[in-house]
Amino acid sequence: MSNLFDLSSKVAVVTGASSGLGVQMALVLARQGAKVALLARRLEKLNTVKQQLEQETGTEALAIKCDVTKEDQIQAAAKKIVENWGKIDILVNNAGVSGMGSSEELPAADWQKVIDVNLTGVFLCAKNFGKYMVEQKYGKIINTASIFGQVGNTAFPVAAYHASKGGVINLTRALAAEWAKYNITVNAIGPGFFESEMTAAIKQDEQANNFGKAGNPMHRWGKAGELDGAVVLLASDASSYITGQTIFVDGGWTAI
């Protein structure tokens, strides 16, 4: 069974890898043996993660500055990775932003920023990294969705975030159907409330923190490492017949 989860011959790409869940995802892929390209806009933070990853796992890593809303930067990153390692096997589309504001007052520019990063960025990365997967007739794409892509909420006015993550879930299905003939699986992970840079303000606010805990049957936030199993499953050949699915790692939030 352990061979099913072995990634030692694989090359992985993680976007939004400079903090939070992106770091956790990059680390677990490296622990399973994959070489990992770390992409984000903050190169200084990426270099710190690169050092941490290489020291803890002994595998190779690349730190590449990349804005997922800029297709030329994505193309340049893909080219650099292939020049270094010869292929791209795994893509984790994790870059994202939140964007809070009441729907009756939300500026169009704020709406567009969330859509550009959370949805269009996922598509542009899938498109440009996916081209290499199509050529090699193999690939594993994992998109970071959210419980808020499946349900609404009464605590935070984040309609743009809801819309973008709902779009990610159905884009996942669409790409899975289109690329199955190339032996590419496309799935998503829908985290509940996990501690990260994006959710720090929520965790510090008592009312919001309680909302995050009370909304699921386990009555707690997700802990560091509790996404690891889903990431490894969807990145490995253990999921060779799973595609177009969203796995919610949420303590049961979307079950009630």
Question: Residue 249: pLDDT above 70?
Answer: yes
* pLDDT score for 196: 75
For residue 1, the model assigns a pLDDT of 65
**Quick count: other Cβ atoms within 10 Å of Cβ 101?**
15
Domain ranges of the chain: 2-249
132 is catalytic: no
| Residue 240 pLDDT | 98
Q: Are 253 and 216 in contact (CB under 8 A)?
A: yes
Residues 93-142: tens digit of each pLDDT? 999 999 899 999 999 999 999 999 999 999 999 999 999 999 999 999 99
pLDDT value for 195: 81
Structure pTM?
0.96
Catalytic residue (choose from 132, 138, 161, 182)? 161
Q: Mean pLDDT throughout 228-250?
A: 98
Architecture of the CATH domain 2-249: 3-Layer(aba) Sandwich (3.40)
Q: What is the pLDDT of residue 205?
A: 87
164-207 pLDDT, tens per residue?
A: 999 999 999 999 999 999 999 999 999 999 987 777 778 888 98
What distances in angstroms separate CA 195 from CA 70, 99, 159, 163, 210, one per listed residue?
28, 17, 21, 22, 13
Express each pLDDT in 6-49 by its tens digit: 999 999 999 999 999 999 999 999 999 999 999 999 999 999 99
